Structure 1
């Protein structure tokens, strides 16, 4: 077996492939499927034992609505999901899923194309020669090992590969504050039909979905939601604290009758997601808040009488941390101007959705149906590393622009472009950061400007 030197140690090189994707999340899994579809030998490095990242480990479902037509791999994932569960509510353009089914589907789509997955494997560092990464170092149950590739996809969401390779990054808003952290959970034993009947009897207009298999509830103080009086009562009677009322939202889970996934609690007073100590503090605080909510709901909300805590997320819901500084930095002006690019490789139409810890006012202009902006290939690559491409919420953008492009459908399309780029770069012996993104635009069927 080949070895590589790493700080005086000889590490076994257990894989030599065309493309290594670090992070098997929303963008990473899609990038791997894309590269494999172009016959690039691909390895996915995943720190957990479940593909899907935020979607599965942080329990973030469903995929938010978009009127942008998804690219081929995104459609493939949804089509395969539809064979397992119902994903279309018939009213919105959300893509509904449960986490276990999505993780399984992503795994099958990778392995049936000959892809390799290394689970329970944490990225440690990279080894470079000049401006190229040659190997990455991984911590596994066997200790430190190495893997070699021609191209690398940083799909870590925290830009860890980019940062260790020397790529400059930025983080947070102008005050260095990141977006709100969530700690999601699931509850079972819910009588969805009783819950739905109660909510609709109160003339709630928030959820307009007619399909009884899909339902959503929410409560944000001062927004006129019918649940606010119940939460106020729970606060007055000591079940809740004021911080529990900041944001409340839950969605049914297709294929899991009586189960809802909660897009809360929002963790208060954590202003930075880039500090490992604060992330740990967020877990402890979030678990405390989850316990209060799961005791409150059976006592106050019809349909929840026999409900129970089913599971907590195994990963925090991090909306924003680091962002690379690439060859092009996307800004909110690109959003406002519905920007088009010769090297546009993905499209987005979600609004500038800032979940702010400090409740700062952010203008949130929304697009009309059919409007969109484009994401240029140059926002995925850097000047510093020639064979590295970034896919995920951490591409090159400003704080506000990232709040739009971070949603799952957009990130999946970015991942597809990244995987396609790796295969093209290998096939044509060209550096990723020298590749003309207009070629990818054409291959993705996005047309000419």
Structure 2
């Protein structure tokens, strides 16, 4: 064999060896704690783990961190802000510091800002917190935290949900992304809205509404003809048919042909999603509403019929955030919630989820364009709506549209302890709190159907306010030990549908994210890293030392 052929053979053998090696071993990253998700809870959990001296990696399917907190939900659902402590409170303190800088006030001066918050002033000078903010300011705060604590983040990294979770017994050994990158850890945290890691790890969960009988609740399950807010068609007597009063013409899109179900029945349905859109009327910063691809004006016929009946609460949830912008939320019988179009989402493939999100985006963009341009909208409303547009200085790399759809509910774990309305309403004590909540048990509409009288109606919108802040159990974020002993789930928490309606607020997710990381680190320090075996007394001491609020003020106790 001549030297040239010998060299070629060596090259071939070397390549074969490399290929065989790549098949055997995927690239891997190892840390004490691996957090899957890009939500506010994910960032806070990472900071807490790092503060406690452990190595941590965030594996985020999102490019932009912070979830809804940095994606339009700036009009914070605080509830009773006294129970928001620890790193969650620090987040709002950092927001406050940003707004102390004159350069932050680009489109209005600080003195002209109305200081209106949700049940609380937006700016609390005494405690140096700010509860209302612009999306990009929130993202800045999360990125500041990531940078200051030198946290390693892998973005656009999607868990391989089919084969990407490797377990040894009841422990996760490693997870693998769709790109083939492997992550090893002693403890894993699932901080996604969807509970993807939890589900892929074989942990029990549920989707939809339980029956009232499941946990002996009053407000779970189907709740026809129960109207706690103004998000229903009431007595307007609006026809659901394409040709009013003519069933043979067919139903308008989005109206179910099925009966809603009997009161308190369980079902597969989940509360509606929408985008929390940041709008402005400042001409220099306004992007006018454009007709989206796939625009279908017939989708909005119910809104026309509402206006014809005299309804007009169009601008009731254009909630003000600084710099003459809004956090615009769903409001009324027909609004930005795309009711009934998200049932597949929790269990859907990534591709199908993208399609569902895109359909929501098209619906909502189309709604704004319709309201600003269609002559069937009352002229006064149409002209006023047309003065609004998307904020040019928000979500610049996404067409000024929010990055994250509002996943109000997806999978919910069935863990060591299930939070129900009894704990939320103070009827059942929690003896091992890891944080507190206080917001109304708030479920958005779940379905749109035809009543027995032949009119259109919405169902599922429930709002029941607890008399006092409530404790959230340690067991609500821990899987059953037999199913997984080194996983913590602070977002897709173990709770009933209606209890989750209160727990699902962004400050609470941050609180639970911090507690999850504390549990992870302490479990590691106890050598076995079995999260269910951690002694509560020692955990409580550490949580309190880190300024988590675990008990209501004495004046608020039941």
What's the TM-score, normalizing by structure 1?
0.79
8 Å contact 1:353–1:404 — kept in the other structure? Answer: yes
1:172 alignment partner, one of 204, 208, 214: 208
- TM superposition shift of 1:187: 2.5
2:512 alignment partner, one of 414, 422, 426: 414
- TM superposition shift of 1:247: 9.9
Please state if 1:308 is matched with 2:389: yes
| Structure-2 residue corresponding to 1:202 | none
2:538 alignment partner, one of 416, 419, 439: 439
Question: Greater CA deviation, 182-191 or 39-48?
Answer: 182-191
Q: Which runs of 5+ in 2 are unaligned?
A: 1-17, 101-112, 123-130, 210-265, 284-299, 331-335, 374-378, 392-399, 448-457, 553-558
8 Å contact 2:443–2:460 — kept in the other structure? Answer: no
After superposition, the C-alpha distances for 1:150-207 in whole angstroms (9 at most, x for unaligned) are 111000121111111110110111111111111333333348xxxxxxxxxxxxxxxx
- TM superposition shift of 1:440: 2.2
Separation in 2, partners of 1:56, 1:314:
9
Separation in 1, partners of 2:168, 2:138:
38
- TM superposition shift of 1:293: 1.8
| Structure-1 residue corresponding to 2:27 | 12
Please state if 1:296 is matched with 2:371: yes
- TM superposition shift of 1:436: 2.6
After superposition, the C-alpha distances for 1:206-255 in whole angstroms (9 at most, x for unaligned) are xxxxxxxxxxxxxxxxxxxxxxxxx99982699x999998997222332x
Please state if 1:75 is matched with 2:89: yes
Separation in 1, partners of 2:385, 2:539:
50
1:186 alignment partner, one of 244, 255, 278: 278
8 Å contact 1:379–1:397 — kept in the other structure? Answer: yes
Please state if 1:43 is matched with 2:111: no
| Structure-2 residue corresponding to 1:347 | 436
Greater strand proportion: 1
RMSD: 3.5
What's the TM-score, normalizing by structure 2?
0.64
Separation in 1, partners of 2:415, 2:534:
14
Q: Which structure would you say has the larger Rg?
A: 2
| Structure-2 residue corresponding to 1:207 | none
Separation in 2, partners of 1:90, 1:62:
9
| Structure-1 residue corresponding to 2:78 | 65
Q: Which runs of 5+ in 1 are unaligned?
A: 192-230
Separation in 1, partners of 2:476, 2:412:
10
| Structure-2 residue corresponding to 1:132 | 171
- TM superposition shift of 1:372: 1.5
Give the direction of change, closer, same or farther, for the CA distance of 1:45–1:342 in structure 2 (3 Å limit): same
Query: Residue 409 of structure 1 aligns to a residue in which SS?
Result: helix
| Structure-2 residue corresponding to 1:374 | 471
8 Å contact 2:436–2:551 — kept in the other structure? Answer: no
After superposition, the C-alpha distances for 1:79-112 in whole angstroms (9 at most, x for unaligned) are 1111112699366336112221211211221331
- TM superposition shift of 1:136: 1.3
Please state if 1:109 is matched with 2:124: no
| Structure-2 residue corresponding to 1:320 | 409
